Amino acid sequence: GGVGKTTLAVAVYNSIADHFEASCFLENVRETSNKKGLQLHQSILLSKTVGEKKIKLTNWREGIHIIKRKLKEKKRYLILDDVWEKQQLQAIIGSPDWFGGGSRVIITTRDEHLLALHNVKITKYVRELNEKHALQLLSQKAFELEKEVDPSYHDILNRAVAYASGLPLALW
């Protein structure tokens, strides 16, 4: 956590979403699913990608059949952020044949095993910042400048970077 998976997903989404017939960014899948059920994400997905505004799903199994049927036709772009359980993937994106040709799905998770269980073919691992980049980020945020920081701050900045272990969220 804190390495920047969501931030990176938002940046990618914003840069290419216009290249698709419909797109949807589902944030905090784990938290929302636990509090409000998987059918909420299914309803949001259907609303954003097929334009159906008032979808009332009684349960997530019902949503599976509707998503399968309605999303096959078009090139979709979907991001699922913070996925924790296989059931979340099964209920929201099912399998590749649920979507039209050229569709793309990005999943952020801390659990690589979950992706393997869902037969995800391409994975990218987001790593912590190295010391140089961590110092650069902290300096930019702390001092709001691009140039060199006063040398009297180097010791405290180095200690903060070491403590944060390269996690951008901790440095932000």
- Which pTM value belongs to this model? 0.76
Both tokens of residue 69?
């049927």
Q: Which residues have a Cβ under 8 Å from the Cβ of 109 and sit 6 or more positions away?
A: 5, 82, 83, 84, 115
* CATH number, position 48: 3.40.50.300
Q: Is 126 part of a structural domain of the chain?
A: no
Domain count, the chain: 2
Both 103 and 55 in a single domain? yes
Question: Is 135 found in the same domain as 110?
Answer: no
Same domain (yes/no): 60, 110: yes
Residues 14 and 85 in one domain: yes
CB distance 50 to 71 below 8 Å: yes
Same domain, 114 and 136: no
- Two tokens at 115? 């992706």
Q: Which of 69, 60, 57, 71 is nearest to 22 (CA)?
A: 71
Q: Are residues 91 and 151 in the same domain?
A: no
Copy the structure tokens of residue 102. 């050229």
Decide if 102 is inside a domain.
yes
Q: DSSP code of 99? A: S
The answer to whether residues 83 and 156 belong to one domain is no
Task: Answer whether residue 35 is part of any domain.
Answer: yes
Domain assignment present for residue 123? The answer is no
59 and 143 both lie in a single domain: no
In tens digits, the chain (172 residues) has pLDDT values of 776 788 888 889 999 999 998 899 999 999 999 999 899 899 999 888 888 777 788 888 888 988 888 888 778 899 999 999 999 999 999 887 888 888 899 999 988 888 888 888 888 887 777 788 777 777 777 777 666 777 787 888 878 878 777 776 666 6
Residue 43 shares a structural domain with residue 68: yes
Domain extent, residue 106, equals 5-118
Q: Indicate if 37 and 102 belong to the same structural domain.
A: yes
